[in-house]
Chain A
Amino acid sequence: MAAFIFRRILVSFLILLGASFLIYVMIALATDPLQEFRESRLPNRDQLIAARVQALDLNTPIPLRYLGWLQGALGCALPFADTCNLGLNFNGQQVSELLARAVPATLQLVTSATLIAWIVGISVGIVSALRQNTGFDYSVTFAAFLFFSLPSFWVAVLAKEFIALPFNDFLRDPVISPLAAIGIGAVSGFIWSSLIGGDRRKRLAVFAIAGVGTALVLVYLAATDWFLNPGLGPVIVVLSAAGIAALMTMLLSSLKDRKAVLTSGITAVIGVICYAALQPVLDDATFATLLLLGGISLAIGGAVGYLVGGYDRGMQMRLGAMVAFFISLVVLIDRFMQSWNAYVTNSAIRGRPIPTIGSSTPTIRGDFWIQATDTFTHLLLPTAALVLVSIATYSRYSRAGMLDVMNQDYIRTARAKGLPERTVIVRHAFRNSLIPLATIVAADVGALLGGAVITEQVFAIPGMGQLFIAALQRGDPNPVMAFFLVVAIFVIVFNLIADLSYAALDPRVRAR
């Protein structure tokens, strides 16, 4: 295994070398670093040209110039040596510093887009496979084709106009008209009924319950000014903790399994107690505290599962950890909601919380929760515009994978030995259908980073993509090379991870 990884890294390094040479030559041929002086009438024009030729070493042949760049770039491979030199841009700034400043915004965008695309794409794909040839399946298929055909920049501009502005206007006076409540209720009823499926009577019942429920909740929320002062409150937190415990037990085992009920019940109770006890800690939390608390909650859930034990201790531990994770998520959402009003009324926001440009409000002051909310609201629209294509891809692949798996013999075996359909799907089909996705998800990272270039441009996010486009338009080679280098390394690393995880997940590949 070690030899395999070593060989892969060596080959990747050689490919990276070749690709960097190729792109260096292409940039040198495609751009003209002197273009801004060509038509200039400045008195010191010749001097400026000479200075730039000197700075970029333009009189050296391209391959030799590449070697110079490579020497500097190889310095970046040594950690902590401070020998990293990606050259200077036209204004004489170190590109490595510019890059360091630009990476976080892009990374935030791409990470959130990846997470959302995984969750939404895979779950939609799986459900549409399980509801094959129904209205839901056809709608999802059509939506996937539509998402593939939408130019992301067009969607981004539309999202600004038709989501951000109306939502901000809505918050100024959060009243939901009866007509809107009925409309949203009908849509939600339709979605739920097609998701749950069943015969006509069951679907009608689901439609009615979900539709009326949604409409009533909306009217109630609007009447109590919930949109200005959102929050879950202890009652909802307790109820959702119970709901999560029940749902997870049903998914992983069944409600008849005493041990599983015990595990999730104990975990849920501990979660609710922690929710009540930890509020002061959460009030002055930092990112590190949250990570720590998340880790602790996972550990507690696992420990509960371990102590309850039973014939399937691993499953109990997973169950406990999952219940703990989702309850922590609810607590986190609740805490964010408590800060929402303070955020919206903040003097830097002034009641218009969904921004259309930038990656953060520069003048905002406040605790961790305000800052984090600010980041999230800035990420909302760019992420939505970026994930459409990925969601379409993942939903198609997970649907195909699930259909493939559901036709396998071991699924028939599982059914034949009397397992409930839920267990067959969750424990036998779902996991195996995820294996091939590992490759696609990794290959998608390059596409996402490319898509981020466009999204960053539309939403004026100061990330790597903007650095790249601005430099390319000016004909400035070094920032373009730096962007390429970062993206290519990401692509290579993720492909390596994909290969390794494929081998780890699928024993058939390893055996070869």
Chain B
Amino acid sequence: MTMLPEPGVPSADPDPAVEASKPGETVGLSQGRLILRRFLGHKLALISISLFVLVAALGLSSIGFGPVPGWWSKTPNSLYPLRDGGQPTLSLIPFKMGEHPFGQDGIGRDYFAMCMRGIQNSLLVIFVIGILTTVIGSVIGALSGYYRGWVDSVLMRFTDLILVIPVLVLAAVIGKGLGAEGALLLSLFMGLVLWTGMARLVRAEFFSLREREFVDAARVAGASSLRIIFKHIYPNAIGVVIVSATLLMSAAMLLEVALSFLGLGIQAPDVSLGKLISDNQTAFNARPWLFWWPGLFIILIALSINFIGDGLRDAFDPRQSKFNPRKTKDPQKPIGDVSWANPGIGS
């Protein structure tokens, strides 16, 4: 991981040795182009991106969000007369939605609208937590890794302090306090405590990058510390950051549905996919579709994000590709691809 061969934007000190050591790549492309091309070659990641966009578009456009109206006429919390025991009316061949495509729950609410609302909340959680943890984790990790010394000690002891509390305990306590206040506030506060894994990754990355020649060059040229950190070093660490942010997003979503399942996350009248499952698990034999739909969407979203992350990792870190058989001989580096791990979020 510490050997990441120059991921990042082209402006940031490209290393000619690495450029030259890729005989299989066309000469004359910028780093960003190379990464994009490698990513586009990853079929599974492309399929995942389309799937994710499809699910997101469905969730956002169907019942509308905020002031924007959607194309689906029913709302998550209105009651409709129960038809046919709430059976789903969706049929794929010939395709037709029918009155209640995903069926109705025990009291007649439209399950399609409820699931769409749940998807919207999951997307909100994913992006708010993803952005917040990336920003906080990057800043703390960068300062800690660049300045070292007492700054590092203080920041890392603070990180340890949060890291010692299991994620689920932290999130459950926050969910208990803020779950009823809505998904936005909940995910904002969850983002405030979930950045620890990201901070450690960025710090490790900075530890090795700050010793490189281009940093000395920038310093000799008179660049300020902040400029060196954010203009010179950080772009070189962007690969690790993006990959782990992606994986963190799927973990964050799973965390939110788990909390809502436990009754400590998003509260009624709002809808969460996890809450839908917990509300309907006792009716499994009578109305199994109430159980399948939310689970299906959770897996779809989480799986596609994980595969996107995998594609990004391969694009940023093509160490194992056939054209680049360089090996790592860094005893400090514990394992091949640490960046693959979910940074700090277990289920």
Contacts from A to B (Cβ < 8 Å):
11, 14-16, 18-19, 22-23, 26-27, 29-31, 145-146, 148-154, 157, 161, 389, 393, 396-397, 400-401, 403-404, 407-408, 436, 439-440, 444, 446-451, 453-454, 457, 468-469, 472-473, 475, 480, 483-484, 487-488, 491-492, 506, 508-509
Measured as residues with beta carbon below 8 angstroms from the partner, the interface class of chain B is 35 or more
The stretch of B6-14, B58-66, B93-101, B159-167 in contact with A is B159-167
The smallest beta-carbon distance between A30 and chain B, in angstroms, is 3
A148 in contact with B164 (CB, 8 Å): no
For A386, the closest partner residue in chain B by CB is: B347
Neighbour of A457 across the interface among B254, B262, B277, CB < 8 A = B262
B212 contacts the other chain (CB 8 A)? no
B173 in contact with A23 (CB, 8 Å): yes
22 contacts between A and B (CB under 8 A): A19-B161, A22-B165, A146-B299, A148-B250, A148-B306, A149-B254, A151-B254, A152-B347, A393-B341, A403-B320, A436-B334, A451-B347, A453-B168, A454-B258, A454-B261, A454-B262, A469-B264, A472-B176, A472-B264, A484-B165, A488-B166, A508-B331
Binary contact readout B274-286 vs A (1 if CB under 8 angstroms, 0 otherwise): 1001100100100
Name the A residues within 8 Å of B263 (CB-CB). 469, 473
A23 in contact with B347 (CB, 8 Å): no
B281 in contact with A157 (CB, 8 Å): yes
Once A26-B173, A30-B174, A450-B169 are accepted as A-B contacts, the answer to whether A151 and B257 lie under 8 Å apart by CB is: yes
Name the A residues within 8 Å of B258 (CB-CB). 151-153, 454
B161 in contact with A18 (CB, 8 Å): yes
The smallest beta-carbon distance between B184 and chain A, in angstroms, is 17
Bound CA–CA A509/B330 (angstroms) = 12
Once A23-B173, A444-B346 are accepted as A-B contacts, the answer to whether A407 and B327 lie under 8 Å apart by CB is: yes
A157 in contact with B307 (CB, 8 Å): no
Give residues 149-172 of B contacting A (CB, 8 Å). 157, 160-162, 164-170, 172
Neighbour of B167 across the interface among A154, A447, A475, A480, CB < 8 A = A447
For A495, the closest partner residue in chain B by CB is: B164
A30 in contact with B278 (CB, 8 Å): no
For A469, the closest partner residue in chain B by CB is: B262
Q: Across the A-B interface, how many residue pairs have beta carbons closer than 8 Å?
A: 161
Name the B residues within 8 Å of A450 (CB-CB). 166-169, 346-347
B274 in contact with A397 (CB, 8 Å): no
Binary contact readout B7-29 vs A (1 if CB under 8 angstroms, 0 otherwise): 00000000000000000000000
B177 contacts the other chain (CB 8 A)? yes
B162 in contact with A154 (CB, 8 Å): no
Bound CA–CA A475/B263 (angstroms) = 13
Bound CA–CA A345/B264 (angstroms) = 41
B334 in contact with A473 (CB, 8 Å): no
The smallest beta-carbon distance between B215 and chain A, in angstroms, is 24
For B346, the closest partner residue in chain A by CB is: A447
A19 in contact with B164 (CB, 8 Å): yes
Once A30-B174, A484-B165 are accepted as A-B contacts, the answer to whether A451 and B250 lie under 8 Å apart by CB is: no
